[in-house]
Amino acid sequence: MPSATDSSGPGGFLIFRAAEVMGGLFDGIALKSRRNITLTGADSILQTLSRLGGPPPCPANIQHFDTGQVLSNSPRKDFDSVESRRSTASRRTMGRARRLYYFLGLPLLRGLIRLLTATYRIERVIGAENIEQYIGGEAICAPCYWHQHHVVGSTLIRSWVRRGFKACFLVSGSVDGEVPERIARAWGAEVIRGSANQSGALALRDMQYMMKSGFSIVTTADGPRGPKYEFKLGAILMARIAGVPVIPIGCAADRAWYLNRWDDFMIPKPFARIVLAIGAPYPIPADAPLDGLEAHRIVVQEAVMSLMAESETALQSR
Q: Are 277 and 307 in contact (CB under 8 A)?
A: yes
The residue type at 54? G
What is the gyration radius of the CA atoms in the chain, in angstroms? 26
- pLDDT tens column, 54-73: 445 555 455 555 555 555 55
Q: Which among 195, 205, 192 has a CA at the least distance from the CA of 7? A: 205
d(CA 308, CA 314): 10
Burial (CB < 10 A; 0-12, 13-18, 19+), residue 43, is exposed
CB within 8 Å of 113: residues ≥ 6 apart: 183
- CATH for 117-316 is 3.40.1130.10
| Domains of the chain, residue spans | 18-72, 117-316
| CA geometry: angle 240, 236, 151, nearest 5 deg | 130
Beta strands in 4-48 (DSSP E): 31-32, 38-39
Q: Are 274 and 120 in contact (CB under 8 A)?
A: yes
d(CA 218, CA 239): 11
Pick 38 or 52 by higher pLDDT. 52
Q: Are 227 and 110 in contact (CB under 8 A)?
A: no
Please, which pLDDT band fits residue 10 given cuts at 50, 70 and 90?
A: very low
1: which strand partners? none
Q: What Å distances lie between residue 49 and 35, 53, 110, CA to CA?
A: 11, 6, 64
Please, which pLDDT band fits residue 52 given cuts at 50, 70 and 90?
A: very low
- pLDDT tens column, 277-310: 999 999 999 999 999 999 999 999 999 999 999 9
Q: Which among 147, 156, 154, 166 has a CA at the least distance from the CA of 128? A: 156
Please, which pLDDT band fits residue 155 given cuts at 50, 70 and 90?
A: very high
Q: What Å distances lie between residue 196 and 81, 85, 86, 145, CA to CA?
A: 17, 11, 12, 16
Q: Are 75 and 69 in contact (CB under 8 A)?
A: no
Q: How many CB atoms lie within 10 A of CB 286?
A: 10
pLDDT above 80: residue 85: no
Confirm whether pTM is higher than 0.85. no
